[in-house]
Amino acid sequence: QFTSTAFTAVLHREKIAISMDGKGCWRDNVFVERLWRSVKYEEVYLHAYASVPEARAGIGRYVGFYNAVRPHSALGGRTPDQIYFNQPLLAAA
């Protein structure tokens, strides 16, 4: 749907640049898709938010947890913050 003429015509009319890699290139969004899968299954689906502000707060807390506390197997048990800030792996308590 994002490459349809109806959608892209609106972008062109509003002078919005379109940035797309090759069609069907799986790796374009793989990291974001994995993040949103975690957000949905570990936060959103577990809570029945009563309002948009409540959802924003809950998801915001989760993103902080995801980056600073939650170990990631793909990162050798380290957090994204540990990788980004070049911090050592903390020993389990």
Residue 25: the pLDDT is 64
Print burial letters for 59-86: b (CB count within 10 Å at least 16), e (below 16): beebeeebbeeeebeeeeebbeebeeee
Is-contact 26 6, C-beta < 8 A? no
Rg (CA), the chain: 18
Contacts of 54 (CB under 8 A, 6+ apart): none
Q: What is the pTM of this model?
A: 0.64
Which residues does the chain have with pLDDT short of 70?
Answer: 1-2, 20-28, 89-93
Residue 71: the pLDDT is 93
Is-contact 80 88, C-beta < 8 A? no
